[in-house]
Amino acid sequence: MGDDADEIQLDLDPSAKACGNCRIWRAVAKDSAGGWLGDCRVQPQRGRFAPTAPICGSFLSREREVPQALPEAPERHRARRVGDVGPRVVHHSAPAPRPDVDLGEDFDMTREELKAIFREALGETEAPLAAKWEGGTVILKPRDPSLQAKEIPIDSLFHKVVMVRDRLRVLEQKLNGHEKLSDAEKVEMQQYVTKCYGSLTTFNVLFAEKGDQFVGEKS
């Protein structure tokens, strides 16, 4: 991949005040929808993000050459991604903590504390992946040997399974607390949710803790 977005087509208005028009932003890879993601050479802690992100105080137009010394990122109010707010897969060997999020003088909160607030608001929880599956791969192999197999990291699959589980739990809570549904209607809807849990019990082998697993209909 080239050093900047001049070598690729971003479909971005050249006059737009966005990172994709900044000389310091560079395209790295495409997301699942086919859109470009890139990183900032001044603020590498942001990770990969879309070129449509708003510019910061280090913006350098593409008409200018990249200086040998890149501009300093602003000390305060620098643009920084909070990160995904979906369920986090907990590994037994935890990675090094990421920097705290700067929310101004009136807030003193770590990155993980802020993510926990989002997860709580969305009804999402953390669930550890069983140690034996860490770093593993799911292989989808067609019957036709001439067709290429598909490999999926187990961490990615587990993340999606946990998201489905948490969305079902939120749906269950909303059904039980719905003011306009009768008790009979709530019971009927609850049966469908329970059957969904039962269909997903196959994935229980991925969970490290039994309390995090799916529970279907009980005999």
Give the per-residue pLDDT at 146.
92
Counting Cβ atoms within 10 Å, is residue 173 exposed (0-12), middle (13-18) or buried (19+)? exposed
Per-residue model confidence (pLDDT) at position 207: 92
Read off the pTM. Answer: 0.44
Q: What does the domain layout of the chain look like in residue ranges? A: 1-62, 128-212
Residues 6+ apart with CB under 8 A from 205: 130
Q: Following CA atoms 49, 52, 54, 59 in sequence, which dihedral angle do they give, to the nearest 10 degrees? A: 80
pLDDT of amino acid 150: 93
- 């059904």: which residue's tokens? 175
Return the pLDDT at 78: 45
pLDDT of residue 120: 57
**How many helices (H) and strands (E) are present in the chain, helices listed first?**
3, 6
| pLDDT the model gives residue 196 | 92
pLDDT in the model for residue 27: 85
Q: Name the residue type at position 62.
A: R
Cα separation, 149 vs 147, in Å, equals 7
| pLDDT tens readout for residues 87-119 | 555 555 555 555 555 555 555 566 666 655 565
Low pLDDT (below 50) residues in the chain: 1-3, 76-83, 85
3-class secondary-structure state, position 150: strand
CB 20 within 8 A of CB 61: no
Residue 125: what pLDDT? Answer: 61
